């Protein structure tokens, strides 16, 4: 693509392995790994690979995963098969590790070990690109699986690539900030670093009758005020229908202050795209541009930045969002700036499915603006609620100031 160049003064690296896209959670399951293929096709179609270092990453190994996860749990993931006979033999472990029920959030599917090690491999390689100084912004869209626990799968997540990446970054950086804009609470990451003041976790999410149910206003870390980690878990519980301007206002206010007082040396940003309007599971009303401007805001701090995927259940919007955010990382402008359908046509060599599903039939990248504007989830909060939430967050941050 003409005109796509490397950004000046810094390096972006893109970490992926196309084998991830081939895995299936089951036909009815909302998590669709093929959304990553759609994303990649858009990214390449726009020529963004000319602006980045590309890395086809290797799968992570058992011992990499064991830096956080329990060995018995990893053995189970490595050897479990989807056939009935094997499952019967392992019924006790199944109940212990993945909570089987009719519509299983975390089903056992063929190639599950390959899937988890490929997702984690890309994220760990991205983290390494940062810590080694090879790149300033490293992207791993197959990562961001924030619910997985030490010895328990949860919410479509089996292995917590984020925790493993942060553990790696802590070898090079004193303080790491984790920011999570997925519509769900980043409970697994919060739990893993609950008792340390070297990692601050900040999650924006829907709260109230919504998975996983944690991340309420009083969830701020250990309660003994002298304990390390007290006040270092920051949660921003939100209600249905939050829109671009309210989310953007809150995000800037709270994230800005967090960076100011915590003074991170590196940032990990989970870019879950289920906070967009029109998502199959989410309940927010963000447009792609507003979601992307959160990325832009974090990037503007010029700290080593690890960008990860996460949720996102309307594949065409996921692909558009992560393609746009790849462009943001590279300082490339793809869509028009008026918040409407982009004037930039999808390049001819984007594969048909990506051109159609991913970018909307001849319309530009930001096309879903039009879809998303039709409010699916009406607002259930007031301006006052929002101001109270912001005030409560700033109040918590006063405890870690200075
Ligand atoms: C990071 N919501 C993950 C988000 C994980 C959300 C849930 C489903 C769901 C699962 C299915 C399915 C579904 C239409 C939606 C309490 C339950 C209620 C299963 C029906 N359709 C991320 C996890 C969340 C599985 N889980 O943050 C197979 O929705 O609410 C729950 C738990 C028990 C299980 N049932 C739902 O975005 C990647 N699950 C269809 C088939
Ligand atoms: Ca979140
Ligand atoms: Zn989510």
Tell me whether strands 53-56 and 176-180 are parallel, antiparallel or unpaired. unpaired
Q: Is 29 labeled as catalytic in the residue annotation?
A: no
Tell me whether strands 233-238 and 137-140 are parallel, antiparallel or unpaired. unpaired
Residue identifier of the C-alpha nearest atom 15 of ligand 1 = 281
Nearest ligand 1 atom to alpha carbon 101: 34
Does the CB atom of residue 274 touch ligand 1 within 6 A? yes
Per-residue pLDDT of the chain (402 residues; tens, 9 = 90+): 457 899 999 999 999 999 999 999 998 999 999 999 999 988 998 889 999 999 999 999 999 999 999 999 999 999 987 776 777 778 788 878 776 566 799 999 999 999 999 999 999 999 999 999 999 999 999 999 999 999 999 999 999 999 999 999 999 999 999 999 999 999 999 999 999 999 999 999 999 999 999 999 999 999 987 889 999 999 999 999 998 999 999 999 999 999 999 999 999 999 999 999 889 999 999 988 899 999 999 999 999 999 999 999 998 889 989 999 999 999 998 765 444 434 344 554 555 555 555 554 445 565 545 455 556 788 999 999 999 999 999 999 999 997
Residue identifier of the C-alpha nearest atom 41 of ligand 1 = 29
Q: Is the ipTM of this complex over 0.95?
A: yes
Does the CB atom of residue 182 touch ligand 1 within 6 A? yes
Query: Is the CB of residue 166 less than 8 Å from the CB of residue 120?
Result: no
DSSP 76-108: HHHH--SSHHHHHHTHHHHHHHH---SS-SS--
Give the integer Cα–Cα distance in Å for 130 and 123.
Answer: 11
Q: What's the gap in Å between 175 CA and the centre of ligand 3?
A: 25
List 146, 185, 291, 324, catalytic entry: 185
Claim: this prediction has a pTM higher than 0.90: yes
Does the CB atom of residue 10 touch ligand 1 within 6 A? no
Closest CA to 217 of 203, 228, 229, 227: 203
Does the CB atom of residue 244 touch ligand 1 within 6 A? no
Judged by its nearest atom, the ligand closest to the C-alpha of residue 109 is 1
Residue tagged 């209600």 (tokens): 239
Which parts of 164-209 are beta strand (E)? 176-180, 199-206
């Amino acid at each position: 693509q003409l005109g796509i160049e490397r950004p000046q003064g810094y390096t972006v690296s893109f970490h992926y392995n196309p084998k991830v896209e081939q895995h299936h959670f089951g036909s009815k399951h909302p998590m669709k790994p093929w959304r990553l293929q759609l994303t990649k096709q858009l990214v390449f179609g726009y020529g963004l690979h000319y602006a980045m270092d590309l890395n086809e990453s290797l799968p992570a190994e058992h011992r990499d995963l064991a830096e956080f996860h329990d060995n018995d749990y990893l053995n189970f993931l490595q050897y479990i098969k989807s056939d009935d006979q094997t499952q019967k033999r392992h019924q006790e472990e199944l109940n212990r590790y993945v909570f089987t029920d009719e519509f299983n959030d975390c089903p056992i599917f063929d190639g599950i070990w390959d899937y988890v090690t490929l997702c984690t491999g890309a994220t760990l390689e991205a983290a390494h690109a940062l810590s080694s100084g090879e790149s300033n912004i490293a992207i791993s869209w197959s990562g961001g699986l924030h619910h997985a626990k030490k010895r328990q799968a949860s919410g479509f997540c089996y292995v917590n690539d984020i925790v493993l990446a942060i553990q790696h970054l802590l070898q090079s950086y004193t303080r790491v900030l984790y920011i999570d804009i997925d519509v769900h609470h980043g409970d697994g990451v919060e739990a893993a670093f609950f008792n340390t003041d070297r990692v601050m976790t900040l999650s924006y999410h829907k709260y109230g009758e919504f998975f996983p149910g944690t991340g309420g206003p009083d969830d701020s870390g250990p309660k003994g005020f002298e304990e390390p980690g007290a006040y270092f878990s920051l949660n921003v519980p939100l209600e249905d229908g939050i829109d671009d301007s309210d989310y953007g206002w809150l995000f800037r206010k709270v994230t800005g202050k967090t960076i100011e007082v915590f003074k991170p040396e590196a940032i990990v940003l989970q870019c879950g795209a289920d906070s967009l309007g029109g998502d199959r599971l989410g309940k927010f009303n963000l447009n792609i541009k507003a979601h992307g401007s959160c990325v832009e805001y974090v990037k503007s701090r010029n700290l080593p930045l690890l960008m990860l995927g996460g949720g996102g259940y309307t594949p065409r919007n996921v692909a558009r969002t992560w393609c746009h955010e790849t462009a943001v990382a590279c300082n490339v402008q793809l869509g028009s700036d008026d918040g409407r359908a982009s004037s930039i046509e999808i390049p001819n060599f984007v594969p048909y499915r990506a051109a159609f599903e991913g970018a909307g039939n001849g319309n530009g990248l930001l096309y879903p603006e039009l879809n998303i504007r039709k409010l699916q989830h009406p607002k259930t909060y007031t301006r006052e609620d929002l101001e109270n939430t912001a005030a409560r967050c700033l109040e918590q941050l006063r405890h870690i100031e200075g």
